[in-house]
Chain A
Amino acid sequence: MALVAILLSIVLGQLGFFDAARLMKGLRNMGTLTLEMLPPDASVLPVAGKALWETVQMSFAGTMLGFLVSLPLSILGTRHLFSAPLSNLSRLIAAGIRTVPVLLWAILFVILVGLGPLAGTLGVAAYTVGYLAKIYAELFEGTDPEIVEAVRGTGASRFHLVRFVVFPEGANAILTQLLFMLEYNIRASSILGFVGAGGVGFVMQVYLQTLEYRRLATVLLLILLVVLMMDGFGAWLRKRFLLVPQS
């Protein structure tokens, strides 16, 4: 424990965390920036609202497309259902996709399909595939082996097992992870416009570059509102559909 504390101190020192003058300057700047953001400029609501709606659309479509692709990929990556070479290949593909950050995916798709929300949606979908395929493969692999054995003994094929054991048993976690991914993608998609991949990011970038911080504050508050609404929607969905006790 002491070793970790010493190591942390060294790293923080190297990163500039003990530079008091710099930190004080940062605090003063934060105060100035906050004052320049107030009061938020409501006149940009129509423009920001439209751009944010595009971000929500990109996140929703990208998350669902990624979810649909990740399901078969994760099933193939489940070792007790498929052969080792097949599951390893599937996991390798998911790991490869996951290595690329969402912003880089967006840039790649801007190059491939041009500027706009289509590139952003594809970027979100690709990132979602990499993340969910890994999470779901591990989840499916953790299905109670006793249930798998009992149902396999009735003559069920591996596709039956996926449909009648793996999916129902993992339903809670499948939905939870999907909702988490949707919430995460809404936040992540907000900056995809910085690279021309559509959504509210482009508007934010313009306001940042032209130093229109009051307008930027309006956009940030709108994003906060959408994220809070998503949290509420997620909580309602969990309450409505997650029925199996976790114990």
Chain B
Amino acid sequence: MDSTDLALRAEGICFAYRGEEWVLKDISLSVPKGKATMIMGPSGSGKTTLMKVLAGILDPQRGRVEVLNHEIGKRTRRSLYSLIGYIPQQLGLVRNLTSLENVLMGALGRCGHGKVMLGLFPHHEIEQAQAALDLMGISDKSSEKVFRLSGGQRQRVAIARTLLQRPRVVLADEFVSDLDLDLASEILRLMRQVAEREQMTFIANMHEPQLVREFADQVLLLDHGELVRGLPRHGLQGQPSAEVFQ
């Protein structure tokens, strides 16, 4: 595949939190533009760490990550906002702020420090944030504090924030794992629609095989910090059969 067709490419990634205890071992992967890629693996296999390395939050000891041909190790985390959007497992929403305020944080990379520091965002950003909440079907919750929202509504706020950020690649770390299957499926469908509409590339860690079958264009399996073909060495309890990964 031509490098211009790739949204993200990682080569020889090795990462350890301490000394030589490698959590990620020589990982190389390619993610095509505009596709949904899902990473599966048992607990402790290094999925979250891999996601943080791909998002530029953690610096790998070895290897490199490129997003749309930009090497992320050479850029500050702040400067990556137009390339990478990141949704952590617990969503990373500020509980004491409203839905609208949380969504508006997606625009911070484009805003200075003047009126914004007083909570006064440009009018067009507020309009777009309202539109993003509307698209997520929760415009009526815009002035509701996040801690009052249900799990599904919080997920929608997190997606709306990413939408306002307008990154080219969205990385989501098991962000629907706390939801029941129907709601998780609905949120993923929404996410996929948004990704297609905005021509975003979507990469997510996922536990649930049914959701992977339904939404993934490409599936990567991680086991003990290594990318493997087929099922991991010790099997994935309740995980999909090998044909899912064809």
Residue in A149, A157, A159, A164 whose beta carbon sits within 8 Å of that of B88 in the complex:
A149
**Which residues B20-44 have CB closer than 8 A to chain A?**
none
- Residue of A whose beta carbon sits closest to that of B82: A155
Note all chain B residues with C-beta closer than 8 A to A152.
77-78
Whether the Cβ atoms of A169 and B96 lie closer than 8 Å is yes
- Residue of A whose beta carbon sits closest to that of B145: A243
For the complex, what is the distance from the CA of A150 to the CA of B110, rounded to whole Å? Answer: 16
Residue in A151, A157, A168, A244 whose beta carbon sits within 8 Å of that of B113 in the complex:
A157
Q: Is B87 an interface residue (CB 8 A)?
A: yes
Residue in A154, A157, A168, A243 whose beta carbon sits within 8 Å of that of B161 in the complex:
A154
Known: A164-B97, A243-B145, A245-B147. A155 touches B78 (CB 8 A): yes
For the complex, what is the distance from the CA of A154 to the CA of B96, rounded to whole Å? Answer: 18
Interface string of B1-26 (1 = CB under 8 A from A): 00000000000000000000000000
Note all chain A residues with C-beta closer than 8 A to B52.
149
Whether the Cβ atoms of A154 and B147 lie closer than 8 Å is no
- Residue of B whose beta carbon sits closest to that of A147: B92
Known: A164-B97, A165-B94. A156 touches B113 (CB 8 A): no
Known: A159-B113, A169-B94. A153 touches B84 (CB 8 A): yes
Residue in A151, A160, A245 whose beta carbon sits within 8 Å of that of B92 in the complex:
A151
**Which residues A130-155 have CB closer than 8 A to chain B?**
144, 146-155
Whether the Cβ atoms of A168 and B96 lie closer than 8 Å is yes
For the complex, what is the distance from the CA of A168 to the CA of B95, rounded to whole Å? Answer: 8
Whether the Cβ atoms of B105 and A156 lie closer than 8 Å is yes
Note all chain B residues with C-beta closer than 8 A to A149.
52, 57, 86, 88, 92
**Overall SS of chain A's interface:** helix
Whether the Cβ atoms of A160 and B91 lie closer than 8 Å is no
For the complex, what is the distance from the CA of A183 to the CA of B86, rounded to whole Å? Answer: 43
**Overall SS of chain B's interface:** mixed
Whether the Cβ atoms of A169 and B77 lie closer than 8 Å is no
Closest-CB distance, A143 to chain B (whole angstroms) = 10
**Which residues B65-121 have CB closer than 8 A to chain A?**
77-82, 84-97, 101, 105-111, 113, 116-117
Note all chain A residues with C-beta closer than 8 A to B161.
154
Give the interface centre of A153, A160, A164, A243 by most chain B CB atoms within 10 Å: A153
Q: Is B165 an interface residue (CB 8 A)?
A: yes
Whether the Cβ atoms of A146 and B78 lie closer than 8 Å is no
Whether the Cβ atoms of B147 and A244 lie closer than 8 Å is yes
Note all chain A residues with C-beta closer than 8 A to B89.
146
Note all chain B residues with C-beta closer than 8 A to A172.
96
Closest-CB distance, B164 to chain A (whole angstroms) = 8
Whether the Cβ atoms of B88 and A154 lie closer than 8 Å is no
- Residue of B whose beta carbon sits closest to that of A161: B108
For the complex, what is the distance from the CA of A152 to the CA of B62, rounded to whole Å? Answer: 24
Whether the Cβ atoms of A244 and B95 lie closer than 8 Å is yes
Known: A164-B108, A244-B95. A153 touches B86 (CB 8 A): yes
Whether the Cβ atoms of B108 and A160 lie closer than 8 Å is yes
For the complex, what is the distance from the CA of A31 to the CA of B77, rounded to whole Å? Answer: 69
Whether the Cβ atoms of A159 and B117 lie closer than 8 Å is yes
Q: Is B132 an interface residue (CB 8 A)?
A: no
Note all chain B residues with C-beta closer than 8 A to A147.
92-94
Whether the Cβ atoms of A243 and B147 lie closer than 8 Å is yes
**Which residues A218-247 have CB closer than 8 A to chain B?**
243-245
Residue in B57, B97, B109, B116 whose beta carbon sits within 8 Å of that of A154 in the complex:
B109
Q: List 30 A-B contacts (CB under 8 A).
A: A146-B92, A147-B92, A150-B91, A151-B94, A151-B105, A152-B77, A153-B55, A153-B81, A153-B84, A153-B86, A154-B81, A154-B108, A155-B82, A156-B109, A157-B78, A159-B117, A160-B105, A160-B116, A160-B117, A164-B97, A164-B101, A165-B94, A168-B94, A168-B96, A169-B94, A169-B95, A171-B96, A243-B145, A244-B145, A245-B147
Q: A160-B111, A245-B147 are in contact. List 11 more A-B contacts (CB 8 A).
A: A144-B90, A144-B92, A149-B57, A149-B88, A153-B81, A155-B79, A155-B108, A168-B96, A169-B94, A171-B96, A244-B147
